[in-house]
A = this chain, B = another copy of it.
Amino acid sequence: MQIKSRKLKNVTSVFWNSQNNSLVLLDQRLLPWDVKFNEYHSVKDVSEAIKNMVVRGAPAIGVTAAYGMVFAAIQALSKFKRQEKQIEFLKASYSTLISSRPTAVDLENFARIILEEAINTNLSVENVLNKAHSLREKVIDECKNIGIQGEKIIKNGDTILTHCNAGAPATVDYGTALAPIYVAHSKNKKVRVIVDETRPRLQGARITAWELYEAGIEHSIITDNSAAFLMSKGEIDKIIVGADRCLQDGTIANKIGTLSLAISAKYFGIDFFVALPWSTIDLSGRKASDIVIEERDEEEVKFVTSMEKRILISNEKSPVLNYAFDITPAELIKGYITSEGVLTLDQLKKVIKK
């Protein structure tokens, strides 16, 4: 299942290996200690990889799900001759994939696009595979442009706080929240990043810190509960985070801890930005109360798993509440960093309506 690690600089977290028709995923659970890629060949295995967080980050999960639907097409064509049965299988595969994680909307959006492509055109592997490739390219391209647009709000000397990992692994390449920082750095702006460690799975301490270190960008890791204190000391100029779902009213769901950052930012008058591609926008008309917030296993909090070791870090018999995401209202968000520019809520609403 493993292929040879590539050099860090060429890492993309999700890609298709056309030599053996497999989906290749960077195993993000092992970062930064091991840069390992796994190959997948079925809807079921892709769904498990999403659930187990081999792949994480809303856009990367979206692209993964698109390729998952490619496997659905391959399997439908090989198993069934009747179109009706093929469609039934494709719809069941779609349900399997979107139920693997409930909060990130990209998963749903991308899987649905491939499902519709499969149903509404002559079903062929080539068609759906090309569609999946084009979605992947679109996300990469969008992230590049998020970087170019977002760079405009970064001043020389800024210290920017970010939460979780909204960098290259989370989005196939470049990142959302980190993309503007990469562009600013490439333009020789001095920029420093404060990295929330992001309990319980430590995507900040493990992945964001690793990316920034490799890119030579000045940064420091903090515990999540240190952020407000740094804000109070005037050490944070702005906050940029990614998103797992953005409603039409500008409400976002993002990694647990985002809400607390946004509230503290408001209290201290610090601008709070959300960087996101189009695939993160939920066009279904859902309200905040309709967003399903994933609750994950309490073992994630009770134990720390790292470098092939697993140790208990809490009172073992105590129960744990482990919400993976939270919901931040638009009133706390200064701007939305998109490939079309850094938008106010009203501007975002106009773009969504187009």
Q: Report A193-212 CB contacts with B as 1/0, cut-off 8 Å.
A: 01111111010011001101
- Say how far A202's CB is from chain B's closest CB, in angstroms: 6
- Say how far A278's CB is from chain B's closest CB, in angstroms: 26
Taking A232-B326, A267-B263, A326-B232 as contacts, is the C-beta distance between A315 and B205 under 8 angstroms? yes
**How many copies of this protein are present in the complex?**
2
- Chain B contacts for A32, CB-based, 8 A: 315
- Say how far A216's CB is from chain B's closest CB, in angstroms: 11
- Chain B contacts for A219, CB-based, 8 A: 318-319
Whether B225 and A256, one on each chain, are in contact in the complex, defined by CB atoms closer than 8 angstroms, is yes
The stretch from A74-82, A299-307, A335-343 touching chain B is: A299-307
- Say how far A325's CB is from chain B's closest CB, in angstroms: 8
Whether A222 and B321, one on each chain, are in contact in the complex, defined by CB atoms closer than 8 angstroms, is yes
- Chain B contacts for A196, CB-based, 8 A: 225
- Chain B contacts for A209, CB-based, 8 A: 314-315, 318
Q: Is the interface of A mostly helix, strand, loop or mixed?
A: mixed
Partner of A197 from the list B229, B301, B306 (CB cut-off 8 Å) is B301
Whether B301 and A229, one on each chain, are in contact in the complex, defined by CB atoms closer than 8 angstroms, is no
**Quick one: which of A207-243 are within 8 Å of B by CB?**
209-210, 212-213, 219-230, 232
**Quick one: which of A266-322 are within 8 Å of B by CB?**
266-267, 293, 301-302, 304, 306-307, 309, 311-315, 317-322
- Chain B contacts for A257, CB-based, 8 A: 223-226, 228
- Say how far A107's CB is from chain B's closest CB, in angstroms: 21
Residue A96 is within 8 A (CB to CB) of chain B in the complex: no
Whether B301 and A304, one on each chain, are in contact in the complex, defined by CB atoms closer than 8 angstroms, is no
Whether B205 and A323, one on each chain, are in contact in the complex, defined by CB atoms closer than 8 angstroms, is no
Taking A263-B264, A315-B213 as contacts, is the C-beta distance between A326 and B221 under 8 angstroms? no
Taking A232-B326, A318-B220 as contacts, is the C-beta distance between A202 and B260 under 8 angstroms? no
- Chain B contacts for A321, CB-based, 8 A: 194, 220-222, 226, 230
Cα of A324 to Cα of B290 in the assembled complex, Å: 38
Whether B264 and A320, one on each chain, are in contact in the complex, defined by CB atoms closer than 8 angstroms, is no
Whether A226 and B306, one on each chain, are in contact in the complex, defined by CB atoms closer than 8 angstroms, is no
Taking A205-B313, A206-B314 as contacts, is the C-beta distance between A320 and B221 under 8 angstroms? yes
Residue A327 is within 8 A (CB to CB) of chain B in the complex: yes
Please give the residue numbers on chain A whose beta carbons come within 8 Å of chain B beta carbons, in ascending order. 32-33, 194-200, 202, 205-206, 209-210, 212-213, 219-230, 232, 256-257, 259-260, 263-264, 266-267, 293, 301-302, 304, 306-307, 309, 311-315, 317-323, 326-327
Beyond A195-B318, A219-B319, A306-B313, 12 additional contacts (C-beta under 8 Å) are A32-B315, A197-B199, A202-B314, A205-B315, A227-B260, A229-B256, A229-B260, A229-B323, A232-B259, A232-B327, A267-B267, A304-B313
